[in-house]
Structures are given as structure tokens and as C-alpha cells.
Structure 1
Amino acid sequence: MNETMQERQMALTMKRNEYARVCRRLDDAQTRLSAAVAENRQLERALTKEQKDVMDLGKFSFLNKLKEWTGSLDTRMEKEIAEAAAAEVAYNESVKHVEDLEYEVSVLKKTAADPDYAYLDEEWAAFIEEKELWIRMNDETSQATLQKIADDRVRIRSMMREVDEAFEAGEKAERALDRAIDKLSNAEGLSMWDTFLGGGLLVSALKYSEVNSSDDLVHQAQRALRHYETELMDVQEAATASFQVNRNDIFTFTDLFFDNIFSDFAVHSRITEGKQKLNGVLQDVRRVQSRLMQKKEASEAELVRLDADEKRILLG
């Protein structure tokens, strides 16, 4: 097949592959958005219930007054506030997740509506008709081999582009995880002081400032990991295990208001556990990044081989 026709086929095939990938991602993002909206509504109902439980305990009644005198109200109030705080964190993260997916869907819809894709099917059909005529008039063994080389080259280059995009997403995920881990390390140090060295109200406040500051950083890490997973789905034979951070393991307890060694220790343990989970995810990302790099190197070697095969045929 002549060089011009090979170049046209390569360009059209890559465009068709890209459009198919955009459509596939759009379908997936819309499905995930529907599930996220449903989960958001469920979490909102749970938060409303927890808030009502706290408010009900605060209402005056002779029964509540009796519980207060006997000391049982404080214990129950502490439990209800902790449950409401956990429900609030889960709901807030769900809201951010829905917003992320809405943005992702809007971008993909805009990309899918690109005028460059409008007549792609017609362009491909016209090219196939022209190609079939050319092959009937030039049926030689070497032409079939050149076509196979051209097809392999398109496939490999498309895959390499997907590997590059996945690798770039992985680098962003690594940076986001590093930032979140650094912030939790600061909180962990303050929590150690507060828990075992009697840091007092000021240290407790500083500790929560660091924990609360980590909130957006952890969310950014989650968002980067979700994008990384999406990119990995496009890479054949790449690891696509879920890298989901359970952000509910990192939320504010109530020892700032009920300051005692038991709640302090629980917060310290939870911060440490959350940091360990983030470190584990970071190691998973780095392992997959290494595999992506190996896949790219193998693909580059395959392109070199194809170039050599083509040169042997063309130069005899």
C-alpha cells in the first residue's frame, strides 16, 4: 500500500480509537455519577437523622434533666455528636465526589460533540471503499505485510499514548498522596504530644487544625486516584485494582470538648491508621507506575522492530 494511504489509515484509525474511548469514558462517568447522586441522597438522610438525634438530646425535658443529674446524658451526647460528625464528613465528601463527576461528564460531553468527530463514520466508510479498490488492483504479498506493519504500528502508538496518559495521572496521584501524608504526619506528631504528654487545649486545637487542613488534601488524593483508575482502564493488561482511600477513617473526634485520655488515644490511633493506609496506597501506585514504564519500554522496542521490518521490504 502506498505511503499516503497508510498515513490516512493511521490518522483515521487513531481518531476512531480516540472517539470510542471518549464515548466509553462518558458512559462510565454517567453511570458513576448516577450511583454517586444516589449515595449522596442516602448520606444526606443519615446526616439529617444524626443531627436530629443531637438536637433532641438538647431539648429540655424532665427525663433529660434526670439523665443529666445521673451523669448519663453527657455520655450519650458525646456518642451522638461523634456519630453526627462522622455522618457529616461522609456527606461532605459525597458532595465533592458528585461535583467532580458532574464536571467530568460535562467535559466528556463537550469532547464527544467535537465537530472533528461529526463525519467520522462516513470518512472511514469512504476510505475502506477506496482501500478495497486499491488492494484488488495491487494484490502482492509485500503489500499485505506492509499493511500488517501499519496496523501494528497504529495499535502500539495508540497504546503508548494511553500508557503516557496513565503514567501522568499516576504522577499526579503520587504528589497528592505525598501532600496528604505530610499533613497527617504533622497531625500525628501533635496527637502524640496531646495523647501521651498532656498537651492541653492549645495542642489539641493545633492537632485538629492539622487534621482539618488534611481534609481537602485527602479529597484531592481521592480525586487523583479516581482519575488514575480511569486512565488505567485504557491500558491493556495493566493492573486496575481499586485505589480508594477510606476518608471516613480520618475525621474529627470530640476530645476537644470531652478531653480525656481515652478519646485522645482513639484520635491518635485513627490518624496513625489513616496515614498507614495512605502510605499503602502510595506504594501500590508506585508499583503500577513501574509496570507502566516497563510496558512503554517494550512498546518502543516493538516499534523499532517494525521500522526495521518495513525498511527491509521497501529497500529490498
Structure 2
Amino acid sequence: MRGDIHERQLALTMKRTERNRVKRRLDGAEAGLKDARILRDRFHKKLTKEQQDVAKLGRFSFMNKINEWTGKWDEKMEKEIAEAAEAELKYNEAEKNLVDLEAEVTRLRADMKNPDFAYIDEDWADFLKEKETWIRRYDSVANSTLQKIADERVTLRSILREVDEARDAGSKASRALGAAIDKLGSAEGMSVWDTFLGGGLIVSALKYSEINSSDDYVHRAQRALRHFETELMDVQNVATESFTVNQNDVFTFTDIFFDNIFSDWAVHSRITDAKAKLNDVLRDVRRVQDDLARKRDEILHGLEKLDRQEREIIEA
């Protein structure tokens, strides 16, 4: 009977933990989706304005002719095109983020319809009443201690599950960051050739092609980091004080790549700075991964200790 209660408690706790996690993620994703739509629309308005500025400058006008004769037209056109390119980059990233969040909300809404979640609160309330009755009827010092061990084991297993999922998300984030850094490294190499070695028109075009394709890699890294952050929040929600994870500012690099990458004269410097910041984030992710690995070892040690205590009571 005691073993059956412990097994049912573990099963119900895992279901409740999963349901609460899905609900928490859905609430967060729906709020994020609302904000993402506002941000996308703002960037779209900005992009439209910049495109209109470029088109306006490209149309014939006596003012444009005067600027062209005085050498100012090329300078103005270069500035407008750079601003339009930056606006396009930010809009594209906002659109990708919106698509990601829409897919996540759809998936989480489907997850919330899991039949296991339909009556979980009622099942849990019924179980607690049955457990209370059993404890009152069979309570003894040994039974009480065994129940405490079972409760602690449930808690530790829940934390272990979240830690393992967070470590898996951290590994994916590390790989995505590494790919983004490699891609920026390629753009950096082209930039060195173009800036310092007189690479010419073809090299310049290749450099901007590498920069333009880098935004996909950076977006994937940011998406992986958001998932990693969500998993870490789950760890924090089920963990006790001794199992907290220090995140610091690992996930605050949203605009390091998308600001001024085209409009700054020192494009090489911007690429180098973006790559350096991504490396900083990668180091922080690896630091958190090391922290999670230590937490996992502590949890496994705690579970082994509980197993020994349980055997000692049963065999006494």
C-alpha cells in the first residue's frame, strides 16, 4: 500500500508539473506574441519610410540634380540605402521572431489539450484525501520518515528532469552560437580583405552577402537562447534555494547584431564587435551549463542518500 501511494504521488506530481509548465509557457508565449506583433509593425513602418526616402532621392528633381553636381547626391544616397538596409534587417528579424512565436503558441495550445491534464486537479485533491487517511491510520515514526523520504525523492526527480532539459537546451544554444560566430568570422575575413587589402567591388559584395546571411544564424542563436532561458526558468520554479542557477545577463544581446551594421562607416569594426559579444554570450552559456552539471551531480547524490536511508529503515 505504501509503495502504491508513493508511485501514484510521483506520477500525479509529474503530470501536474508538466501541466503547470505548459500553462506557464503558453501564457508567456501569448504575451510575447502580442509584443512581437507590435514590434514587427513598428519596424515595418520604419522600413517603408526608409524605402520611400531612397525612392524619393532616386527620382528626378532639380534639387537632386544640384546635389549630384555638387557631389552630395552620392553621399545622401549611400546614407539612405544604409538606413534602409538596417531597417530591412531589423524587420526581417522581427518577422522571423513572430513566426517562431506563432508556431510556439499553436503547439502549446495543442499541448494544453492533453487528456492527462483534463482532471489532474481533481485527481490530485482525491489523492491527498486518500493519503491523509492512510497516514492517520498507519502513521508511525518509520512510516512518517518513509513518507518524508518519498516526498523529497519526488521533489529531486522533478528538479532532475528540469535540469536535464535545461542542459539539453543549453547544448543546442551553444551549437547555434558557435555557428553564428563562424558565419560572422567568414564576414570578418571578407571585411579585412575589403577594408585593408583593397578587395574591390566583388569582395565588397561578398562581404555584404556574408553579413546578410549572418542574420539567419544570429536569429537561430537567439531562438535557441530563448528556449534555454525558458528551461532555466522551469528549473528555478521547481528548485529549492540550494539548486538555483545564476543567469546574470546571458540573454540580453538582442540588438548587438542588428544595429548599424550597414550604416556605420567602420563595418569591419561592427562585425568584430558583434562576434566578440557573441563569444561573451557563449562563455556565459557554458558557465551556466557547468553550473547545471554541478547541480545535477548534487541531485543524484541526494537521491542516492535517500535510497540508503530508505533501505536502512526497511531493513532495520
TM bin, normalised by shorter chain, reads over 0.9
Looking at structure 2, the residues matched to 230 and 109 of structure 1 have their Cα atoms a distance apart, in angstroms, of 17
Question: One-letter code of the match for 2:139?
Answer: D
Q: TM-score, normalised by structure 1?
A: 0.93
**241-250 vs 299-308, which deviates more?**
241-250
Matches within 5 A, 1:101-140: 101-140=101-140
Matches within 5 A, 1:13-52: 13-52=13-52
Aligned residues: 306
Aligned counterpart for 2:245 among listed residues 238, 250, 253: 238
Counterpart for residue 308 of structure 2: 308
Give me the identity figure in percent: 58
Looking at structure 2, the residues matched to 296 and 28 of structure 1 have their Cα atoms a distance apart, in angstroms, of 27
Looking at structure 1, the residues matched to 43 and 260 of structure 2 have their Cα atoms a distance apart, in angstroms, of 17
SS of residue paired to 2:235: coil
8 Å contact kept, 1:6–1:150: yes
Counterpart for residue 156 of structure 1: 156
Instruction: Give the unaligned 5+ runs of structure 2.
Output: 237-243
Looking at structure 2, the residues matched to 75 and 251 of structure 1 have their Cα atoms a distance apart, in angstroms, of 18
CA deviation digits over 1:242-298, x for unaligned, max 9?
A: 423433148445xxxxxxxx94xx111111111111111110101000000000000
Q: TM-score, normalised by structure 2?
A: 0.93
Looking at structure 2, the residues matched to 59 and 292 of structure 1 have their Cα atoms a distance apart, in angstroms, of 59
Counterpart for residue 53 of structure 1: 53
Matches within 5 A, 1:89-100: 89-100=89-100
Matches within 5 A, 1:139-288: 139-236=139-236, 237-240=244-247, 241-243=249-251, 244-246=253-255, 247-249=257-259, 251-252=261-262, 263=265, 266-288=266-288
Instruction: Give the unaligned 5+ runs of structure 1.
Output: 254-261
8 Å contact kept, 1:54–1:77: yes
Task: Label 1:161 to 1:52 Cα distance change in 2 as closer, same or farther (>3 A).
Answer: same
SS of residue paired to 1:248: coil
Counterpart for residue 241 of structure 2: none
Question: One-letter code of the match for 2:245?
Answer: A
Question: One-letter code of the match for 1:121?
Answer: D
Looking at structure 2, the residues matched to 239 and 87 of structure 1 have their Cα atoms a distance apart, in angstroms, of 35
8 Å contact kept, 1:249–1:270: no
Looking at structure 2, the residues matched to 53 and 209 of structure 1 have their Cα atoms a distance apart, in angstroms, of 23
Work out whether 1:77 is the aligned partner of 2:77: yes
Shift of 1:212: 2.3
Looking at structure 2, the residues matched to 84 and 211 of structure 1 have their Cα atoms a distance apart, in angstroms, of 15
Shift of 1:137: 1.2
8 Å contact kept, 1:86–1:251: yes
Looking at structure 1, the residues matched to 183 and 17 of structure 2 have their Cα atoms a distance apart, in angstroms, of 41
Question: One-letter code of the match for 2:315?
Answer: L
Question: One-letter code of the match for 1:102?
Answer: E
Question: One-letter code of the match for 1:239?
Answer: N
Question: One-letter code of the match for 1:212?
Answer: N
Question: One-letter code of the match for 1:227?
Answer: H
Looking at structure 1, the residues matched to 308 and 108 of structure 2 have their Cα atoms a distance apart, in angstroms, of 38
SS of residue paired to 1:229: helix
Question: One-letter code of the match for 2:83?
Answer: E
Task: Label 1:288 to 1:250 Cα distance change in 2 as closer, same or farther (>3 A).
Answer: farther
Question: One-letter code of the match for 1:96?
Answer: K
Looking at structure 2, the residues matched to 61 and 189 of structure 1 have their Cα atoms a distance apart, in angstroms, of 41
Question: One-letter code of the match for 1:195?
Answer: T
CA deviation digits over 1:116-140, x for unaligned, max 9?
A: 1111112112212211221221121
Looking at structure 2, the residues matched to 65 and 298 of structure 1 have their Cα atoms a distance apart, in angstroms, of 73
Looking at structure 2, the residues matched to 74 and 232 of structure 1 have their Cα atoms a distance apart, in angstroms, of 50
Looking at structure 2, the residues matched to 68 and 206 of structure 1 have their Cα atoms a distance apart, in angstroms, of 28
Task: Label 1:11 to 1:307 Cα distance change in 2 as closer, same or farther (>3 A).
Answer: same
Counterpart for residue 295 of structure 1: 295
CA deviation digits over 1:24-60, x for unaligned, max 9?
A: 1111111111111111111111111111111111222
Looking at structure 1, the residues matched to 173 and 80 of structure 2 have their Cα atoms a distance apart, in angstroms, of 35
Looking at structure 1, the residues matched to 73 and 187 of structure 2 have their Cα atoms a distance apart, in angstroms, of 31
Matches within 5 A, 1:61-72: 61-72=61-72
Looking at structure 2, the residues matched to 228 and 73 of structure 1 have their Cα atoms a distance apart, in angstroms, of 48
CA deviation digits over 1:55-112, x for unaligned, max 9?
A: 1112222222222211222211111111111111001000000111111111111111
Over the residues paired in the alignment, what is the CA RMSD in angstroms?
1.5
